[in-house]
Amino acid sequence: MTQGHNDQKLALLASPAERAQQASRHLADKADWVPLEEADAVIVLGGDGFMLQVLHQMLDNGRIIPAYGMNLGTVGFLMNRHQPGNTLTQRVARAKPIGVAPLRMIARRQDGSEQVHCAINEVSLLRETRQTAKLEVEVNGKVRIDSLACDGVLLATPAGSTAYNLSANGPILPLDSHMLALTPISPFRPRRWRGAILPEHSQVIFRVLDPGKRPVAAVADQKEVRDIAEVKLEIARDQQLTLLFDPGHSLDERIVAEQFVA
């Protein structure tokens, strides 16, 4: 078996879902698969959630390679169409690379300890109790909102703008927009504030007001930090990821198409 065009070494990862496992078994003898740590690119079988797990695994391990997804999940926004057959390695060789820069979150807890995580979709701050959260919002060194009363707030990348951000009535951002979506979640005051679109070079800081009565958690994609005092966010330019898409099915096209779904 070949390893693909240009002698690419390919890894194959499948989610635990039965459909993905079946596809993995079908592909087992279609290429000389290698372990992820030896691969030049990785084939990901599953849905968006599993793709995010794989991308985060690469970020955590410090070895980032292009990822080509085949949708065997539900939404599949980050994936290509699943097409059974013997042409997968050729599809990977022809695929268009799309750069996706994650957000870096530096989260400081009430006890002064810090945690650093990256988010490919969004970082969200959420109230931990029935009490409304109160947050100060600073952008590029200037306080823009001195007291935001809300269920939470999030900062989303273009790749994540059609996920939680869209559910919170945030804007859809084209991948090449170089923008970030700052979106409140059920805002109470300022009553008319509906969020902002920021240049991707922006630094955003959220500070928790009255944390004893109104505790707040921060979530970077799937990683949660509780009892937050302050969260600092900016693009992690040194950890850019690469997604591979079939020609004509790029993430740019998916973002445009999503805006015309009734």
Decide: residue 138, CB within 10 A, 0-12 exposed, 13-18 middle, 19+ buried: middle
Which of 229, 214, 212 is CA-nearest to residue 130? Answer: 214
Which of 231, 260, 254 is CA-nearest to residue 126? Answer: 231
Which of 4, 33, 27 is CA-nearest to residue 93? Answer: 4
> CA-CA distance, 71 to 83, in Å (whole number)?
9
Q: What is the CA radius of gyration of the chain?
A: 20
Q: Per the residue annotation, which of 32, 48, 60, 246 is the catalytic one?
A: 48
CA angle 179/180/183 to nearest 5° reads 140
> CA-CA distance, 167 to 163, in Å (whole number)?
7
DSSP-derived letter for residue 55 is: H
> CA-CA distance, 187 to 185, in Å (whole number)?
6
Which of 89, 49, 53 is CA-nearest to residue 68? Answer: 89
The reported pLDDT for the residue numbered 5 is 45
> CA-CA distance, 161 to 80, in Å (whole number)?
18
| pTM (two decimals) | 0.84
The reported pLDDT for the residue numbered 262 is 64
Is the distance from CB of 97 to CB of 244 less than 8 angstroms? yes
> CA-CA distance, 245 to 35, in Å (whole number)?
22
The reported pLDDT for the residue numbered 165 is 95
Q: Which residues define the annotated binding site for NAD(+)? A: 48-49, 121-122, 151, 159, 162-167
> CA-CA distance, 177 to 158, in Å (whole number)?
7
The domains found in the chain, sorted by start residue, are 5-101+240-258 (3.40.50.10330), 103-238 (2.60.200.30)
Decide: residue 244, CB within 10 A, 0-12 exposed, 13-18 middle, 19+ buried: buried
The alpha-helical segments, DSSP class H, found in the chain are 18-27, 48-61, 88-94, 164-167, 251-258
Is the distance from CB of 26 to CB of 88 less than 8 angstroms? no
Is the distance from CB of 45 to CB of 23 less than 8 angstroms? yes
In this structure, which long-range contacts are made by residues 115-119, counting pairs with CB atoms below 8 Å and at least 24 apart in sequence? 115/225, 117/220, 117/221, 117/223, 117/225, 118/56, 118/59, 118/220, 118/221, 118/236, 118/239, 119/157, 119/160, 119/220, 119/221
Confirm whether 176 is a catalytic residue: no
Phi, psi (rounded to 5 degrees) for 179 = -125, 165
The reported pLDDT for the residue numbered 4 is 42
Question: Can you list the residues of the chain whose pLDDT is less than 70?
Answer: 1-6, 85-86, 249-252, 262
